[in-house]
Chains A and B, each alone.
Chain A
Amino acid sequence: MLPLISTNMTAAAACASSCLAQIMPAGQAQIQVALTISALLFTCGLVGFMSRRNMIVMFLCTELMFQGAALAFIAFGRQHMDTSGQVFVIFILTVAAAEAALALGLVVLLYRRRATLSAEAWGELGE
């Protein structure tokens, strides 16, 4: 359920921010909306990371948190009429892509050992 909601929310947030940027001059109210959505994305990601045990979903949740931060950068950049916030977002996307490649590689490695994606199956380390 949660990944579904969060995926929809990412799409909604992306749409909302692009629409806002294009249609109307971003006023304080629009920036507030974008910031609220970014905080929601970040929180959803955090809650999802804590509560889910599927490794792919956990990874998606960290991506959600990254996008929350990226959206906040765009909104703040608009608020301050400064483009460096948007530049930061490009770098965030690049790093997120690198992390995705790494994460999927590691998950496939683990999946080959035990044919499950559940993080619960892995508990060998510990006292």
Chain B
Amino acid sequence: MTAMAQRIDQLWPELMVLTGAVICALIGLSRQRSMRAAVPIVAMVTLAAAVLIEWMRPNSGSESGLLFPSLGHYVKIAIGILGIGLAAIGAGHMDRKFEAQIALGRVSFDPLRVVRGEYHAFFLFSIAGVMLVCGASDLIWLFLALELVSLPTYIMVALGRSNRAAQEAGIKYFFLGALATAIFLYGFALLYGATGSLDLIVIRDWLSVQSALGGLSSMAVLGLLLSTLGICFKITAVPMHFYAPDVYEGASTPVTAFLSIVPKFAGMCALIMLLGTVGWNGHSITASDGVRIAYSGLPQPVTAVLWMVAVLTMTLGNLGGILQKSIKRTLAYSSISHSGYMLIGVLAGPGAGFDALFFYLFAYGLMNCAAFSALASVERRGNDVDSFDDISGLRAKQPLAAGVLAISAGSLLGLPPFLGFFAKAYLFMAALEAGHVGLVVIACVNSAISAFYYLRFVLVPLVAPPSARADELAASNSAFPRIAAAVCGALLLLLSAFVTQMLGAASRASSGYTPVAVGDSAQDSVQSARAPAGGDANQVVVDSSTRHP
């Protein structure tokens, strides 16, 4: 019981966010205009409260029963902060035409025609899902948390706009999402079959015993591969990336911003938690009789697949980005290529690789927040801006949005004074340390290719002459996107001075993770190993000194 009480005690931020979701759904239906206008503010306040609760909590890493005991602390704070930015981008966006008509007195309020409350409730549910992913102790929890992230996003895509494109995007996203869910669910089933447990730590113990006894069973490897493939959908990595440009284009700007950040956070955390059950290279178990059992880490097929996925994701993302005319499609390809860079961090493994990965995730979120808030702070004839023609010569009308777009593009490209440069540099250095020289070379070439389209975000708004379409640009109805743009743009510059501290926080996220069973539990698992392959556990012991000098 105390263990359960302890787990619930860790869930205060999630409970806070879920309460906020209920409040949003209720006051979104209020007859008073001021109450409805307060919905995004309620969302932001609850997120801020969740961040504060988690921030005040001493990160003792004592949360037992988790594979990554300290991951939740970092991720909850990071996604909470980014969530505030995302809520600011969406403030005033939902129902804006209907609310404008009500303000003019043309129509009266109709609770069936407003979606602002529901939208923000789903927004908060999805963010609570990300927070829950990091607290997953077993596969059931992980599955439910991942679904809690995804299901609201399908609705948000369809709700965000009432045109055909949004509905097409919604159903496309839903079908492919359901397919991906089924695929990683089957992967979970195979992992369960290979280990006989749903608990991530028990799975890790079993897999480390299996791998010490002569390699993982093919069922476990297949399970890991299928789970990875399913999660590739969430992080828009290559075999499952093709939906991203269409869905990002069809969804409204705040939803696109949400899709480019939140599912990616959840997917990356789920990916390292799943791969964490087999661990990375260079570890060994010491049984109590002093015999060290060598342990080989990620199985070769998984490493090979991840390597190819990383290379293909960044290359196809960057090549696709060059050809686009739509801003949101370009940003979709940019987000695909950034997933490829993040997978380098996953391959580099615990230590420097994870530190860089978590730092990169937050930096990436901030950069995308900046870019999308700049886009959301202007509108053309009451609609989202979507082509580069629209923002041509933006500096004359909206200097702030133009400047922030340029800063975020520079940061996404990885230019030195901005946060993106440090994130990318740490990622590449970690990969070099782990010996992935080929990957880093390919990633550098890719960064150079990406300059083609990122420079358009700098040149078109700042240098190009205003086009005819750009004359119809106006500031959006709410001030929140402009505030978010200013804050995110400033943070991209200012946070570069605090890179060491941020990297320190990121490195605490993966602390407490041990890739293999340690101490008595290892001894027990070896002793009790019924050796699924048929061998006898106690007789097959490999001396690690031959493998690990």
Binding site for B on A (CB under 8 A): 35, 38, 42, 45-46, 49, 55, 58-59, 62, 65-66, 68-69, 72-73, 75-77, 79-80, 82, 84-85, 87-88, 91-92, 95, 98-99, 102-103, 106-107, 109-110, 113, 122, 124-127
Query: A108 to chain B: closest CB distance in Å?
Result: 11
- Report the separation of the CA atoms of residues A124 and B168 in the bound assembly, to the nearest whole angstrom: 8
Contact indicator A76/B178 (Cβ below 8 Å): no
Contact indicator A99/B171 (Cβ below 8 Å): no
Contact indicator A106/B154 (Cβ below 8 Å): yes
Contact indicator A99/B178 (Cβ below 8 Å): yes
Interface residues of chain A: helix, strand, loop or mixed (majority): helix
**19 sample A-B contacts, Cβ–Cβ < 8 Å, listed by A number:** A45-B182, A59-B175, A59-B178, A62-B178, A65-B183, A65-B185, A66-B182, A82-B196, A88-B143, A88-B192, A92-B185, A103-B175, A103-B178, A106-B158, A106-B167, A109-B158, A110-B167, A110-B168, A124-B165
- Report the separation of the CA atoms of residues A126 and B326 in the bound assembly, to the nearest whole angstrom: 10
- Please name all residues of chain A whose beta carbon is closer than 8 Å to the beta carbon of B190 when the two chains form the complex: 72
- Report the separation of the CA atoms of residues A85 and B138 in the bound assembly, to the nearest whole angstrom: 12
- Please name all residues of chain B whose beta carbon is closer than 8 Å to the beta carbon of A58 when the two chains form the complex: 175
- Please name all residues of chain B whose beta carbon is closer than 8 Å to the beta carbon of A76 when the two chains form the complex: 189, 192-193, 196
B113 at the binding interface (Cβ < 8 Å):
no
Query: A116 to chain B: closest CB distance in Å?
Result: 13
- Report the separation of the CA atoms of residues A127 and B171 in the bound assembly, to the nearest whole angstrom: 18
CB-contact partner of B155 in A66, A102, A110, under 8 A: A102
Within 8 A of A (CB), among B123-139: 138-139
- Report the separation of the CA atoms of residues A66 and B230 in the bound assembly, to the nearest whole angstrom: 13
Contact indicator A88/B198 (Cβ below 8 Å): yes
Contact indicator B246/A126 (Cβ below 8 Å): yes
Contact indicator A79/B193 (Cβ below 8 Å): yes
Query: B259 to chain A: closest CB distance in Å?
Result: 14
- Please name all residues of chain A whose beta carbon is closer than 8 Å to the beta carbon of B165 when the two chains form the complex: 124-125
Query: A21 to chain B: closest CB distance in Å?
Result: 17
B496 at the binding interface (Cβ < 8 Å):
no
Contact indicator A84/B198 (Cβ below 8 Å): yes
- Report the separation of the CA atoms of residues A79 and B189 in the bound assembly, to the nearest whole angstrom: 12
Contact indicator B167/A55 (Cβ below 8 Å): no
Can you list the 5 inter-chain pairs with the closest CB atoms, starting with the nearest? A65-B182, A80-B196, A76-B193, A72-B189, A125-B246
B518 at the binding interface (Cβ < 8 Å):
no
Contact indicator A91/B164 (Cβ below 8 Å): no
- Report the separation of the CA atoms of residues A78 and B186 in the bound assembly, to the nearest whole angstrom: 17
Contact indicator B171/A122 (Cβ below 8 Å): yes
Query: A101 to chain B: closest CB distance in Å?
Result: 10
- Please name all residues of chain B whose beta carbon is closer than 8 Å to the beta carbon of A103 when the two chains form the complex: 174-175, 178
B172 at the binding interface (Cβ < 8 Å):
yes
- Report the separation of the CA atoms of residues A33 and B240 in the bound assembly, to the nearest whole angstrom: 31
- Please name all residues of chain A whose beta carbon is closer than 8 Å to the beta carbon of B323 when the two chains form the complex: 127
Contact indicator A69/B182 (Cβ below 8 Å): yes
Closest to B248 in A: A125
Known contacts A42-B182, A69-B188; decide if A122 and B168 are in contact (CB<8 Å).
yes
Besides A59-B175, A125-B249, 14 other A-B contacts (C-beta < 8 A):
A35-B193, A62-B175, A66-B181, A68-B186, A69-B185, A69-B189, A72-B193, A73-B192, A84-B138, A87-B140, A95-B147, A103-B174, A124-B168, A125-B169
